[in-house]
Amino acid sequence: MLQAARYLLGSPGASGFGSKSTAEEVTAACPDLASLTAIITGATSGIGAETARVLAKRGARVVIPARSVKAAEDMRARILGECPGADVLVLHLDLSSLASVRAFARRFLSLGLPVHLLINNAGKFSHGQLALSEDGVEMTFATNYLGHFLLTKLLLGKMAETAAATGVQGRIVNVSSSVHGWFSGDWADYLQLVTRRKIPYDATQAYAMSKLANVLHTKELAARLQEMGADVTVNCVHPGIVRTRLNRDREGLITDLVFVLLSKLLKTIPQAAATTCYAAVHPRLAGVSGRYLADCNEALPSPAAASRGEAARLWQASEDMISASSSQPDWNF
């Protein structure tokens, strides 16, 4: 009850920020990020776009990888309209395609740019029937998790190299969701069964499982970074649920009343981007790794997300998947 009240009131936690804090407010302590290069997936709209806008406003070079280059160019134009001196680079990337992830990494690394921040923000929720990626992976898992797993793996060496050369600690931010706690059961069995159409497809369960994978990835990656001695941290964030128009087709007293009630629990996009920006650049998070954050404060993930054994198991399964042929998705978890 106390936690709910603090959320509704926007009361600040130990960090000094709370649910009502905005991305601009949490980055006010670090107004000049001119030395940083940030790669932000899913930055053509929503939380990712606000994250890109605010970091660019603070001076960071922002790289926007996107499946739609036009949408990314439009976002670049919007940022430049507000910040004419901003340095914004657009590159093609389809996270559901492992080949596209590898092509993006090759292209980016060929530019010789540093990389200080990697914000794995892009997300997908499938409203329809089961769809598989070109690599034979359930599409939500492929986009929300597996593509980001490979992207991080391919850029990690450059991040460690940048941190060593510049003395600026690298940071990786995985955007998850509290919905990760909705998934029950064994993620490996679920992925195998749903891919082979042995069980009905449940879009919500698929989304929750992909977000659980984001948290487990953070846990295992933090441990591996420490073992490597790399000056790079990784943390996971729950941005909150963004305030949107809940029902575009139906109107009426009941719908309006539901919207008014739920709007007290939902966030604006600037508020939803706050925790991502906090994890990416706030001085308080220097040296902090492997944590799960919500409302710009450390929070507890679900019990399923707290197991190092499951995190290591997912890591190995992910290595198997990115190595497997798309024509033979026969993974042994």
From 201, 207, 278, 292, the catalytic residue: 201
For residue 293, the surrounding DSSP H or E stretch is strand 292-294
pTM passes above 0.95: no
Task: Check residue 313 and give its pLDDT.
Answer: 96
In tens, the pLDDT along 7-43 reads 555 668 999 999 999 999 999 988 789 999 999 999 9
Tokens at 177, concatenated: 């969701």
The C-alpha angle 72, 97, 205, rounded to 5 degrees, equals 95
Per DSSP (E only), the strands in 14-123 are: 37-40, 61-66, 88-92, 117-120
Kindly report the average pLDDT of the chain as a whole number: 90
Is 145 noted as a catalytic residue in this protein? no
For 18-239+269-325, CATH gives 3.40.50.720
Distance of CA 231 to the CA centre of its chain: 20
- Please check the confidence at residue 127 and state whether its pLDDT lies above 90: no
- Please check the confidence at residue 327 and state whether its pLDDT lies above 70: no
Q: Coil, strand, or helix at residue 237?
A: strand
Q: Coil, strand, or helix at residue 94?
A: coil
List the beta bridge partners of residue 132: 138
In tens, the pLDDT along 220-271 reads 999 999 999 999 999 999 999 886 443 344 455 654 555 555 566 789 999 9
DSSP symbol at 175: E
